[in-house]
Amino acid sequence: MARILVHALAVTSRGGAAYCRRLVSHCSRGLRQHDWLLLLPSGVNIAFPRLGDNVSILHDQPSNDAIRGSYTDHHRVQRLIAEEGIDVIVSPCDFGVLQPPVPQLLVSRNALYFSIEHVRQLRRRCEIKALLNVVMRQKLALSSIRASDQVVVPSNAMRDDILAWNSVLAPDRFHVIRPGLTPPATDPKLSAEIRSSLDTRPCVRRILLPGAYHYGRNVEVMLRAIGLLGTEHSEPIELILTTKLGVGVRNEEQDSTAAARLIQEWGLADHVTMLGKVSRNDLDALCRLADVVVCPSYVESAGTGMIEAMKCGRPIVASDLPIHRETCQGGAIYAPPFHPQSFANAIKTILDDASLGQELGKEGLERAKAFRWSAHFRDLSGILQDMIDEAARSPKVA
């Protein structure tokens, strides 16, 4: 029997908390012969459906600054590892223990830290604070990778990006494990509030861009594409956003002013519907309602939005990036990430050819079968058990 520390002090987002919940729930059942200690920051409470008596949860008060905290919290975590007799560490949130006294498995899930294009775009926008934040997090993420015995990433594309930043890293320590997806509702219905917000014009063609506003999502390119498409397509066009844009409106420090001004300058107010954050049920219903789902991102970690679209059988138009081709394969049409006319042309091609849209949807449905949380955590558990077995064979250093 081994004692496993899930070092999750870096959890800050809902997505990170959801991943931790799945990891602990799945792996502690699959490896029930081991004891699990989940270390969370104070104030973060994860609702677990049910945990076995082999799982304990400990809350700690990390530094207010996530980057500085990864260094200043180091000694407290080291003491905890010694006091609890920890045999293996699992760090599921990009940042791990920097000098682990025992083997460490790191899950690296955020491609922003390794995107040259994102750094370039932040410079172009003169977002100096955000740029410095990304650079510091990149250094910390790379330090965490170097300190880990095994690293799990969601795609080959992200692994290659990490290796491009640091060519001395051993490729064989990386394991590509696809993310899973939440099964779609059997018959999702739009809530009355969302339905009343949508365009009611006859024969309207709906384009869905899911997700919160973020520079990497490349929303401005899609707005220009919709403006171009509106002049070339005979039927009314509606771009549905599951976020809010506005002058001075920021989402996690991402300023949507430029996008909001584009809507005004291009006269797109009648073609863009901003819903804000929507429920899982509404998102599934919107996917099914959309004629096309678009992903113009210039950086992507796992292509979650595209996976959601594929599971609903919707045709996709995506940026021509390695991660998108790896995720969607034949379920999408691809366009250069900074070329609005190419996006407009690709969307129009699908809108004008119903059989093409159906074929892309079928390809996507088949591809979506490759993304299962059960398979993800089965593979992760296998890596973890191999590490435990190797640690048991190696003498501990006092």
Q: What type of residue is 25? A: S
Spell out a b/e string for 222-252, using b for 16 or more CB atoms within 10 Å of the CB, else e: bbbbbbbbbeebeeebbbbbbbebeeebeee
Pairing mode of beta strands 254-255, 250-251:
antiparallel
CA distances from 388 to 34, 101, 213, 359, 378 (A): 10, 14, 41, 46, 15
Torsion over CA: 239, 241, 246, 250 (sign): negative
Q: Are 302 and 370 in contact (CB under 8 A)?
A: no
**Closest alpha carbon to 295 in 193, 195, 364, 200:** 364
Average pLDDT per block of 10 residues along the chain, 398 residues long: 92 78 92 94 81 89 58 78 94 92 95 93 93 92 94 95 86 94 80 92 93 94 95 88 94 90 95 94 93 96 90 96 96 97 97 96 95 95 95 70
pLDDT at 237: 94
Q: Any alpha helices (H) in the chain, and if so which ranges?
A: 14-30, 66-72, 74-84, 116-124, 128-146, 156-165, 192-197, 219-232, 257-265, 280-289, 304-311, 322-328, 340-352, 354-368, 373-393
- Sign of the Cα pseudo-torsion (117, 119, 123, 126, in order): positive
Q: Determine the Cα–Cα distance for residues 175 and 20; give it in Å rounded to an integer.
A: 18
Q: What is the number of helices (H) and of strands (E) in the chain?
A: 15, 15
**Cβ contact 302:179 at 8 Å:** yes
- Do 333 and 350 meet the contact criterion of CB atoms below 8 Å apart? yes
Residue 39: name the closest of 8, 12, 68 by CA.
8
* pTM (predicted TM-score): 0.91
Which amino acid type is present at position 155?
Answer: S
* pLDDT value, residue 395: 65
Q: Is the CA virtual torsion 128, 133, 135, 136 positive or negative?
A: positive
